[in-house]
Structure 1
């Protein structure tokens, strides 16, 4: 199957234009930013006030929850109040379970969002093998319930969003397609086909999940299926239940940004468990780059390069790579994705280097979030003495990281034999930086290989990506093969990309070239924010997360994001966000809305304060029954609003305690975790300082 993105050229997926009031979505229009209100919609005063604040922040489309006819009855008042204040922002009615509320809402809004998993179905978690005839009968029943809304929306010029959520697929879909991206896609297409039968084509689709990897796979598969069926509807992107703070922003950047990087997505929402106004600058920071690329077809010199399309990946499969030992650390093969850190201070300033080492060793995000490989730059032969001092400092701790020395191949060729021996004793890996345009660098590499200088520590090759990435990746593949032939070992490969070029495409090209040549070199993914205009908190997750979710990458490194300790913590948080390596508790918390039964922000903070030390445990905090139990996805434990002042607790998707008074629920949750053997007492330590603010925190 073909995808809609080429690795090096930004190419927006072609779609029709859908009007949402005065706002046009899709086609050549900018990626639109939207959010959702949190008060109960029947609280007209609070809802209107929050809509005004969202619009002032730049929000282009506002969604309000309509869980009941009472809330639907408030929509005319909200519309009149907004008009009186001079606001014409398009409104979207969010519908779950209630076709009656949808039929009332369609009279007063510009778009209606329905969830195909619960618009005409009630979740019973029932296992049932449907015959084809029974399945068709179910589709006919759904059409009877959905058709009135389709006809009225078409008559009034109201658009519809068919919004699939991973956690709320119907029993019918689950029994036929499973809890999979394919099931999500089929769930949406069933409703799209009903709309098309009645010639209503003002449609937008979404495939949301709390797991960015599942979300990415579902949108890609949907784009592929729609292209095959001649459909061109725009997509709304979002990671549902992303959470709050840095974790919520990182998880959203991985999911939304990875798809935008491929040209998929026409409107976005960053769902945070915070005041929704805080979502707007984050969304614009993500969309800004791709809107600029769309405005300027010649934005990248590399845009002229035609690279082969990638296959659509609907299940995760890690790229096959050889295992490489770097000191006590092994990477590649079946090893977990490793985290590296680059010291910023030059070795010549040894005091600054030792200060950085002290910071890295004393302030990890958790004991499991220490840097595993530390790289330092050698700029001249005198740096060997200083490298030895760093090696002694690392070795004295007993559990320090592996040490890598990075230098140019030309510098390596200048070393005398005794200096080379000291260098090899002091580090666990030599990383050679190569400029493909410098022939002397390649002659130096050849001399080093022929002399046996690279037969000691593990070897890394870092190549600067210039204007011809395809040729560079082919060349690097040939270098890797030469290293294997001469030394009997494969090197770790990495790319240095300039500020004007996303690293995603070149790394995909490199992985493809290595696969074609049968050379399973492990890959170090590097996101260097030096000189880049993108948000420094959001775009390392975009670049690294996109590749990691495709199974590419055996180690990661973030460069020039604050101090090295901050870069290290961001790298670990990216692995947490992709679910590839959990080093702390994973929280799945929904953004608040008018259905919420308690203060989600405060409740989330409180539960985090009790459980944030539980490595690898996944806890869902859901404000209402709509967002649980289905939306809890793969959470180990669930804390779900069940009614005014009441909470229910889940173990997996099993309801284990119902109607617990809110004041008692925290302790009951801790007790449930203990009951299932997942509790440990927190170690006494200081909380890590927050990461430096990017533009999104202003």
Structure 2
């Protein structure tokens, strides 16, 4: 059983409808946009003010933390004052982690309660313990007793509930039986879901959040599959937790949320940024608009998936696609053990000198483009290229060829080239003989590579030639792609179909992901819209294990295009080229100012290429979300910081004024510190 109706076009999963106050979630309702207040919940005036600010910019559901009974009691006044301000129709959600008593108070006052199954009335001491079947059942019985009162009261009052699993806060019981895995996340939610169903309570939304988009994507896919096996159709709330701030936070969120939305999954979303929460809303709205524009009018229940054959990729476990290795020149290798290569696009041949100068920008020193694509329309362009004396800050040139140009037209350029070239040419269905001719003639120029641009149908007709070509220097990419009612596949689905076609024919040809105007989803032409498009296309495919070269051809600014490409690769975990920061979005539990702290730590450690630092406002998800981080900076008490190495707390209750320096000392002690001056001199 698959997790979506189609891997190639967007067909929305048909979920059950859940009313959160007056707001419908799931079914045929539009995607709902959420956010969360960051104020101290007991400061009623400040919390209401921020909730109003969120509602005024389009937040449809507002979440408020309730870490204790006093905060939960404050929700009564918050609800009353928020309604009096004209927002009675905007539901409030109480965010509960550890205390059932806080949940029982909160459910009296707000339209929805979110519980974290890893924390709610459960143990999380990172203890290693083997649970026998009988001991495990005893734990579940204890959980049933602790959770049932909230379920019953929610049903009596007509409240909704979100069972929100976090990768960083799985219980010891789950960790010891299933490990820190997507399967463990799903089982954690299903334990609570079965208790709710035992009381005939179904007003439930589920989420599977993680700071790693690959983990998050796999967990949601597996959840849908497992629910379908048990005839469950609950709505999904999507989000990447601890995504961070700025461009990186938006990219991570768009990769995780966008990938699932394109697969037709998701009913409500939150973009979690370490910024003022009002800035989350435009990003979420843009993602929702892009997704809903791709969804077909039909919806399909998960137990009727799939409506199309699945592709050969395993969607529940990340594996990089195995491809043939190629040397593109000067050590720029493409292959299964190599990171995806970055290509930037020049407007034309005449612009190459100025373009090359722009790419020598100091900010690209550590992460320059490895290839430069340039359109070649006529033989005159080829002559101009030969006459230029270029000092290109890249390893190879990609000549994007007008299909009217022949190999004979190219011959002088190929002979004169001092380095390696990639020849990008479109091939249509039925052009097998032409492709064979190009491959034959290029064997005389073994330094150069042919990039075959084709539709999936064209590639299927050419696949036999590629297969018989054996070790020919070939890369495959998508011809210009423009979805239409007659051809509704989105670009992610079409690239998946290209990869499936290559797999069917036993071809290990590398794949180049190109972001072009034709691959763009609905939306304006703003930088945010283009950033989301790049994240949803390139990031989604990278999280599927597809992609050996990437290019962002929608960016007119070369420096910005290169930086965005590397940032998308980093967000997808495909190529780490700078410090990775995992930072939570702040809430009323936070024990320090996350925005200023994150920026301050970034200024001091942002030069540590490949080091992952987690910055957490409290311990709710901190130790777990830092599972794959090198170091953690976590609020332990007001004005006090705990420092971690991985999941292990190594220094407790450090005064915050001393914590930055102690963090740097800790990084140095573990051999991962490099002085900034040294980096600049490299």
| TM-score bracket, shorter-length normalisation | over 0.9
Per the alignment, residue 171 of structure 2 pairs with 170
Alpha-carbon distance, 1:563 to partner? 1.1
Alpha-carbon distance, 1:385 to partner? 3.3
Per the alignment, in what secondary structure is the counterpart of residue 536 of structure 1?
helix
CA distance in 2, matches of 1:391, 1:184: 57
Contact 2:9 2:490 survives alignment (8 Å):
no
What are the residue-to-residue correspondences of 1:11-30 with 2, within 5 Å?
11-30=11-30
What are the residue-to-residue correspondences of 1:304-453 with 2, within 5 Å?
307-310=308-311, 312-328=314-330, 329-344=332-347, 346-347=348-349, 349=350, 352-365=351-364, 367-388=365-386, 392-394=390-392, 400-415=394-409, 417-418=411-412, 420-422=414-416, 425-436=417-428, 444-452=434-442
Equivalent in 552, 556, 574 of residue 550 of structure 2? 556
1:584 and 2:574 equivalent? no
Q: What per-residue deviation string (whole Å, max 9, x for no partner) do you get for residues 669-698 of structure 1?
A: 111111111111114899xxxxxxxxxxxx
CA distance in 2, matches of 1:635, 1:419: 48
CA distance in 2, matches of 1:238, 1:257: 10
Alpha-carbon distance, 1:187 to partner? 0.3
Q: Which runs of 5+ in 2 are unaligned?
A: 300-305, 484-488, 524-528
Alpha-carbon distance, 1:407 to partner? 1.0
Q: What per-residue deviation string (whole Å, max 9, x for no partner) do you get for residues 366-392 of structure 1?
A: x33111122222221122333235574
Per the alignment, in what secondary structure is the counterpart of residue 526 of structure 1?
strand
- RMSD over equivalenced CA pairs, Å: 2.1
Alpha-carbon distance, 1:17 to partner? 0.4
Contact 1:477 1:517 survives alignment (8 Å):
yes
TM-score, normalization: structure 1? 0.91
Per the alignment, residue 302 of structure 1 pairs with none
Per the alignment, residue 450 of structure 2 pairs with 460
CA distance in 1, matches of 2:307, 2:324: 29
Contact 2:361 2:559 survives alignment (8 Å):
no
CA distance in 1, matches of 2:54, 2:36: 9
Structure-2 change in CA distance of 1:482 and 1:382 (3 Å): farther
What are the residue-to-residue correspondences of 1:99-498 with 2, within 5 Å?
99-294=100-295, 296=297, 307-310=308-311, 312-328=314-330, 329-344=332-347, 346-347=348-349, 349=350, 352-365=351-364, 367-388=365-386, 392-394=390-392, 400-415=394-409, 417-418=411-412, 420-422=414-416, 425-436=417-428, 444-452=434-442, 455-465=445-455, 469=456, 471-484=457-470, 488-498=471-481
Contact 2:426 2:479 survives alignment (8 Å):
no
CA distance in 1, matches of 2:366, 2:274: 26
TM-score, normalization: structure 2? 0.93
Q: What per-residue deviation string (whole Å, max 9, x for no partner) do you get for residues 286-310 of structure 1?
A: 0102223347569xxxxxx974224
CA distance in 1, matches of 2:622, 2:412: 66
Equivalent in 672, 675, 680 of residue 669 of structure 2? 675
Per the alignment, residue 695 of structure 1 pairs with none
CA distance in 2, matches of 1:45, 1:682: 44
Contact 1:493 1:522 survives alignment (8 Å):
yes
Alpha-carbon distance, 1:452 to partner? 4.9
Per the alignment, residue 69 of structure 2 pairs with 69
CA distance in 2, matches of 1:114, 1:684: 47
Alpha-carbon distance, 1:568 to partner? 1.2
Structure-2 change in CA distance of 1:684 and 1:170 (3 Å): same
Query: Which contiguous aligned blocks of 4+ residues in structure 1 show a shift greater than 6 angstroms?
Result: none
Contact 2:264 2:295 survives alignment (8 Å):
no
What are the residue-to-residue correspondences of 1:583-602 with 2, within 5 Å?
583-602=577-596
Alpha-carbon distance, 1:123 to partner? 1.6
Alpha-carbon distance, 1:550 to partner? 1.0
Equivalent pairs counted in the alignment come to 660
Alpha-carbon distance, 1:624 to partner? 1.0
CA distance in 2, matches of 1:223, 1:295: 19
Contact 1:374 1:403 survives alignment (8 Å):
yes
CA distance in 2, matches of 1:119, 1:560: 46
Q: What per-residue deviation string (whole Å, max 9, x for no partner) do you get for residues 50-94 of structure 1?
A: 011000000000000000111011111111112211212101000
Contact 1:391 1:426 survives alignment (8 Å):
no
Structure-2 change in CA distance of 1:611 and 1:86 (3 Å): same
Per the alignment, residue 694 of structure 1 pairs with none
Per the alignment, in what secondary structure is the counterpart of residue 124 of structure 2?
coil
Q: What per-residue deviation string (whole Å, max 9, x for no partner) do you get for residues 643-675 of structure 1?
A: 111111111111111111111111111111111
Per the alignment, in what secondary structure is the counterpart of residue 6 of structure 1?
coil
Per the alignment, residue 302 of structure 2 pairs with none
Contact 1:210 1:588 survives alignment (8 Å):
yes
